[in-house]
Amino acid sequence: MTTSAFPKVSPNAAKASIADNNEVNNNVIYNKDLLALWYQPWAETSNSAAKLQCIWLETLNDAFRHEIDFLATMAPVYSKLTHCMLGLNGPLTPESMASCYHQIAGDMSEATFNRMRNVSELSEDFKERIWCEL
């Protein structure tokens, strides 16, 4: 037989306890008050964390958009390179190949510089977004 660690209480004690709870006691913190004390700071910090995550995702989205722009710019350049190598623009002569490669190199360098400029702006945009939220 097991014994309980809690003392037995008479039914009259339960009624007295209910009567005591009806009285106003300013020193008691009720569960809903405790939840409010805990929830408000938690909600404020999680809201900030959600905003920071949103900022990070927006910056990541911008980075992907810049990469897609770079790839979209490079696709026609590779097409031109293929046309030059296969001689689809006319007969292959050293002068025509040099001219074609020179034009392709210029297009590639311009696309690469635009890509680097966009990437360097990402960190500044990210910092600006964070400071605007703070």
pLDDT tens column, 68-81: 999 999 999 999 88
| Calpha distance 105→77 (Å, rounded) | 9
Between these two residues, 4 and 114, which has the higher pLDDT value? Answer: 114
Closest CA to 112 of 70, 62, 77: 70
Question: Both ends of the chain: CA-CA distance in Å?
Answer: 63
Each residue of 39-54: pLDDT tens digit?
666 666 667 777 888 8
Specify if 65 maps to a domain: yes
Q: Which two tokens stand for residue 92?
A: 């292959």
Question: Which range marks the domain in which residue 133 is found?
Answer: 51-134
Query: How many domains is the chain built from?
Result: 1
Query: Phi and psi (nearest 5°) for 50?
Result: -65, -40
Specify if 59 maps to a domain: yes
